[in-house]
Structure 1
Amino acid sequence: MTSPTPLLAIRSLRAAYGKIEALKGVDVEINAGEIVALIGANGAGKSTLMMTIFGKPRARAGQILYEGRDITDVPTHEIAHLRIAQSPEGRRIFPRMSVAENLQMGADATGCTDSERDATLERVFNLFPRLKERYAQRGGTLSGGEQQMLAIGRALMSRPRLLLLDEPSLGLAPLIARQIFDAIRTLNRQDGLTVLIVEQNANHALKLAHRGYVMVNGLITLAGTGAELLQRPEIRAAYLEGGRHG
């Protein structure tokens, strides 16, 4: 019996900034319907992996397979049409635009119909009621937590099958971070959304995830279920007991 094709398969992926190699042969698989966490110290290459999936920077070697299709050289603007969405580190909302306009930008990325847009917008408002309250407000006037909700909401407006989340709880108060994690869990359980999450809070990320990978200096060094990784003494020492997060 053959195993199902992973939704996303990354094979021996290498990427660099100039002469500095950030990814040195990364292998990662994500199955449809999974939450997969990627943890590691700052500078390990986690965000680079996220960005390389989207084509910036371009891979120097290896493959990125999505639903079995090689998308390694697909232009960035076409990747969104494959129903892959990203909520990047630092949120990167459009501060001069209203919440409404930011969310519309997400819908425009994949050219959804009016009915699809309206249904998705209602879903975003159910997850993040604060965005409905702030609908006409400029993005730059929102709190940090509200901006993170907006960044995720904008990504969801493209109706992705695969959502890439880069440091969604960074800089947020614990209560707001918990709301963000609860929304991710709801999207996965109720909507079947597949999620790859890079997260500086390794404890929360691994509790949330079905599986996880540990990245060190551009390489995957450990893999396992979230529960397995939480119990490993080297993970606890490095990321859960006062070690460096990121």
Structure 2
Amino acid sequence: MPVAATAASPAAPLLSVRGVKTYYGKIIALKGVDMDVRPGEIVTIIGANGAGKSTLMMTIFGNPQAREGTITYDGRDITRMPPHEISRLRIAQSPEGRRIFPRMTVLENLQMGASLDKLKHFDQDVERMFALFPRLKERIGQRGGTLSGGEQQMLAIARALMARPKLLMLDEPSLGLAPLIVKQIFDAIRALNRDEGLTVFLVEQNAYHALRLAHRGYVMVNGVITMSGSGRELLENPEVRSAYLEGGHH
């Protein structure tokens, strides 16, 4: 059933996943996932390592493709679309493990992120990225591979943003980073959403930070969505607290 439209949540989702099943060989990784991301929202999926969160993000991006179900983006069925075509639809992804170009400088990495028709905005967009992540400006001529882990994560996000996406998909942006760097990255995501209305879909093991940031969240266990609600509802939910939030918030 469609959700009734409100000022904060238009009825039509920007991204809609319905009944999606994804396999690796004969092993089923996603077992019929339903979820929505509406324009202007930050939505997160939390869950333990191996729950299927990254598989969902990769399936949305077409690799691997869903064996069953449908994925709709901005009113278009993208379920069978190859990844290079999906990336032209103003969806940008910052994948797990960062995957920047280690031999290229910070500036060259940002150039790789800019789509050809956006090059006329290139200088302006680079300045936006440097305002968002001042550390990158200090490292502009440095090779990506020589940056710290936190700087590489900032660069991966900035590179994705250079394509001026409507939807930014982030896979484990806090993984392996110091708490101070995590805070800087999450503050930047919050600012992009608040100031530019950027829609964000976030896969994250750090449930505390993710749920504090997100308007809505989903909990995934073994390839199934088991719970959903506002970020605050899930933060306060006793089951979520005992499974994902015990033992500190950092």
Same fold (TM over 0.5): yes
Match of 2:52 among 35, 45, 50: 45
Are residues 1:175 and 2:196 paired? no
| 1:112 match: secondary structure | helix
In structure 2, the residue matched to 1:188 is: 193
In structure 1, the residue matched to 2:8 is: none
Could you list the runs of 5+ residues in structure 1 that have no partner in the other structure? none
Report the Cα offset of residue 2 of structure 1: 6.2
Are residues 1:104 and 2:111 paired? yes
In structure 2, the residue matched to 1:114 is: 119
Report the Cα offset of residue 113 of structure 1: 3.4
Matched-pair contact (CA < 8 Å) for 2:17–2:34: yes
Report the Cα offset of residue 112 of structure 1: 2.7
Match of 2:155 among 150, 153, 161: 150
Match of 2:227 among 222, 226, 229: 222
Report the Cα offset of residue 117 of structure 1: 1.9
Aligned residues: 242
In structure 2, the residue matched to 1:141 is: 146
> Structure 1's 134 and 70: CA in aligned 2 closer, same or farther, altered over 3 A?
same
Partner Cα distance (1:35, 1:118) in 2: 27
In structure 2, the residue matched to 1:161 is: 166
| 2:169 match: secondary structure | strand
Partner Cα distance (1:106, 1:114) in 2: 10
Are residues 1:32 and 2:39 paired? yes
Give the superposed CA RMSD: 1.4
TM-score, normalised to structure 2, is: 0.94
Partner Cα distance (1:237, 1:165) in 2: 25
Letter in 1 for 2:126: L
Partner Cα distance (1:160, 1:235) in 2: 31
Partner Cα distance (2:124, 2:224) in 1: 40
Post-superposition Cα deviations, 1:181-205, rounded to whole Å, max 9, x if no partner, equal 0000000000100001111110110
Are residues 1:71 and 2:92 paired? no
Partner Cα distance (2:28, 2:208) in 1: 28
Matched-pair contact (CA < 8 Å) for 2:44–2:217: yes
Report the Cα offset of residue 120 of structure 1: 1.5
Partner Cα distance (1:21, 1:113) in 2: 39
TM-score, normalised to structure 1, is: 0.95
| 1:221 match: secondary structure | strand
Matched-pair contact (CA < 8 Å) for 1:112–1:158: no
Structure 1 runs, 4 residues or longer, greater than 3 Å off: none
Could you list the runs of 5+ residues in structure 2 that have no partner in the other structure? 6-10
Match of 2:136 among 111, 131, 156: 131
Matched-pair contact (CA < 8 Å) for 1:229–1:235: yes
